[in-house]
Amino acid sequence: MDPRELSSVPRDVQTAAVERSKARAQKNYAKADALHKMIIDMGYRVLNVQNQEVLAHKYRIRLRGIDAPESSMPYGKEAKEELAQIVQGKCLRVLVFDEDRYSRSVGDIYCNGIFVQESMLKKGLAWHYKAYDKRPELEKWEKEARAKRVGLWSSLNPEMPWEWRKDRREGR
């Protein structure tokens, strides 16, 4: 509905969304599903929010100020699962501050009143990424998790993900 957002949605996506809605109204679910797949392939989704269909754009978002273990690192799978549990299928408020070199939006994410970075740090599933973010509350939450020895802090010497990635690039 917001004209600023609508102007950035490709015409093909807009048309497919309208046609999908018509197909669903006519109970032509095969056509509606095909149109939805086309919409998804173009980087969008049709979501049902409070009994209203909403066209949503998919974004790649880097959580500002934290760095979680990679999937193959200790606690990597747990971090990914926890993040998915917090945000998956829910409405999010994303405050974007920057774009990284991989074209991801860098921002703070809130979900149902939960500050996602705070939750990840307090559960010991991420590091405060001090090189890029100096917020004292992030440092405080990491220190609290370290003191409680929760999550990755239960290990004696957890490897920092940025060092792990650097070692892999250098072939160590």
Tell me how far apart the alpha carbons of residues 44 and 78 are, in angstroms, rounded to a whole number. Answer: 28
Active site residue 104: yes
Question: What residues does 111 pair with on adjacent strands?
Answer: 114
Active site residue 146: no
Give the number of other Cβ atoms within 10 Å of residue 36's Cβ: 19
What is the H or E stretch that residue 25 is in?
A: helix 11-25
Helix 29-41 and helix 11-25: axis angle, to 10°?
A: 160
SS3 breakdown of the chain: % helix, strand, coil, rounded to 5? 45, 20, 35
Are 124 and 29 contacting, i.e. CB atoms less than 8 angstroms apart? no
Active site residue 70: yes
Point out the catalytic residue in the list 19, 78, 104, 139: 104
Point out the catalytic residue in the list 19, 24, 70, 159: 70
Q: What string of DSSP letters covers 28-56?
A: -HHHHHHHHHHHHHTTEEEEEETTEEEEE
List residues with catalytic annotation. 62, 70, 104
